[in-house]
Amino acid sequence: MMKKFITHVLRGLLVLALIVIVMHISAYAQEAAAVSADTGGDAGEFASVRDNEAVYVETDRAPNGVVTLHYDAPLENSVVAFVTNSTALYMYSIRSSVTNIPLQMGDGAYEINVYEKMEDTKYIKILIANVVVDGLRDEEVYTNSIQMVDYEGYKDVIDEINKLLADAQGDREKVEIVYNYIITNYSYSTEKAEGVRAEYLPDLRDFFTTGKGICYDYASLFASVLRSNGIPTKLLMGYRNDVEKYHSWNEVLLDGKWLAIDTSCDAQLVQAGTAVEMIKDSSIFSYTREY
């Protein structure tokens, strides 16, 4: 549950950023040492977009719903990636040399544009890549390790929690064990929520160590552990009808159905002595972002 300004930022940031880019990109594109790469190609072509050794998109796992942005140059300036298809636009703040970006918007053509901030609100496009995917399956898309569900990057944390599942029988029992572990061992931090920035990404190592975090941390950890066990899990952002602030929760695919689970709300209720049910009525949620 985040502060109100996050709501406005998440709703308006993409639009504002695109307006800024449209206003400034033309004047700066010719002056930059930019690289432009385009797969073009038909569906089924997934060769890496690599016309530049420092910045390129690896697309060999695109049929499984993920591409990897390699940014081997120093991250001295803000770098953002916009991923679009015919239905939606997602923006990712690039923080490391390797970033897994999901293709969670269904089959079809995706365009990936990477921009570097030069000064103030002026951006330059440093790469464009296009990829076409067909036959995406939820079982694959939502078991990938991606930027905000980064079980590969936090392998030490995930491996430690996975010890709890050594004797678990089946996916449902694994989900229940991880759910109960999280809601009883982690506390919601109002202080952290008040200071969170729009570009915040969960640090699962910090969350695991301190035991304190915000709803985004809860949802990321829950999804990361389950995905590492091959259990399709979504991380969603949006609204819950009894929560005032912008919120984050999960959906887990069990027995062919997506089931809503909210570890951060349940942690607060359980720790206050209130009994809860793990599975929620999905109608109490409305999402704006899905990962």
pLDDT band of 122, cuts 50, 70, 90? confident
pLDDT at 259 over 80: yes
Least confident of 34-48, 169-183, 249-263, 267-281: 34-48
Tens digit of each residue's pLDDT (9 = 90 or more) over 200-223: 999 999 999 999 999 999 999 999
pLDDT band of 15, cuts 50, 70, 90? very low
Q: What percent of the chain has pLDDT over 90?
A: 73
Task: Provide the residue ranges of all domains of the chain, joining segments of one domain with +.
Answer: 4-135, 155-290
pLDDT band of 75, cuts 50, 70, 90? confident
pLDDT at 2 over 60: no
- The per-residue pLDDT for 22 is 35
pLDDT band of 121, cuts 50, 70, 90? confident
CATH number 3.40.50.300 is the correct assignment for the domain at 155-290: no
pLDDT at 31 over 60: no
Tens digit of each residue's pLDDT (9 = 90 or more) over 260-273: 999 999 999 999 99
Q: Which residue has the higher pLDDT, 14 or 270?
A: 270
Tens digit of each residue's pLDDT (9 = 90 or more) over 161-199: 999 999 999 999 999 999 999 999 999 999 999 988 888
Q: Which residue has the higher pLDDT, 176 or 77?
A: 176
Amino acid identity for residue 142 in this structure: Y
- The per-residue pLDDT for 42 is 31
Residues 6 or more apart whose CB falls under 8 angstroms from that of 195 comprise none
pLDDT at 3 over 50: no
Q: What architecture (CATH level 2) is domain 4-135? A: Sandwich (2.60)
